[in-house]
Amino acid sequence: MKLALYQGPATCGDIEAGFNRLETQLTAAAMAGASMVVFPELFLPGYNRPDLHKSLAQPLGGEWCGRLSKLAEKTGCGLTVGWSERCDEAVYNAATAFGPSGERLGHYRKIQLFGEMEKASFNFGTHYTVFEFCGRKTAILICYDVEFPQHCRQLADQGVTLVLVPTANPQRFEHVSHTLVPARAAETGLTIAYANFFGADGDLTFGGNSLIAGPDAQLLASAGVGETLLVADLAPVSDIPRDLLSRQDLDYREGNFQ
């Protein structure tokens, strides 16, 4: 299975430009043989646009979801993308995965909201989502979520081996890419795809450094600070050494530290 992630500039509230970029990158990834592309957090309508998070938020199954589904079906490539979701009076920092035929595979709402802006814009998510994709149990986390080891551990306990992470990580937090994401992967035997923005978004500047980390903490693909489409060939789960996939069964998971 080939997995891709896209690192690009912020959409800054330009919805049509965002959809055009989604189609361009999905088409390129499909030509490279990828089955799925992971895009950044709040790609629609934009991360650093609290003025738009509520006013442009869409319902699950609404216009944005319909267009995303059609793009996946048109290009024959799945996508996971962050967006602002409205559910009745609540608004969530959400991400949805669509398969290559346009089917909705999973939908997730961010649990660990970061900073005052996110907490003012969004409600907290409460549940994980786990789904099958290309023979792998797969889950979604969003940005700050992956920095908390308990989330990756609980997903591993459910048999997850692949975690897709749309993110919007600013400059000065590059340690998340360099240290924390590989550590989360190694701790729990996961492959983690971490897709960030780069460049300015109003008064915020994103740090790039998107990556795909394998269950041995080694980088399968990594980006610098420019626009990048990364494509990595993931080994079949059956080929991954059992000691990497069975870390959740180690004694320390049951509190046995002796």
153-175: buried (b, 16+ CB within 10 Å) or exposed (e) per residue? bebbeeebbbbbbbbbbbeebee
List 65, 77, 143, 152, catalytic entry: 143
State the Cα–Cα distance between residues 37 and 60, nearest whole angstrom.
20
Which residues contact residue 22 at a Cβ distance below 8 angstroms, ignoring those fewer than 6 apart? 39, 43, 68, 71, 79, 81
List 41, 118, 147, 187, catalytic entry: 41
Write out the two tokens for 52. Answer: 């738009």
77 is catalytic: no
List 65, 77, 110, 152, catalytic entry: 110
**Angle at CA of residue 104, ends 49 and 58, nearest 5°:** 30
In the 3-class helix/strand/coil scheme, how is 114-169 assigned residue by residue?
A: CHHHHHHHCECCCCCCEEEECCEEEEECCHHHHHCHHHHHHHHHCCCCEEEEECCC
110 is catalytic: yes
With 0-12 / 13-18 / 19 or more C-beta atoms within 10 angstroms meaning exposed / middle / buried, residue 240 is middle
41 is catalytic: yes
Q: Are strands 162-166 and 191-195 parallel, antiparallel or unpaired?
A: parallel
Would you please indicate which residues are annotated as catalytic (active-site) residues? 41, 110, 143
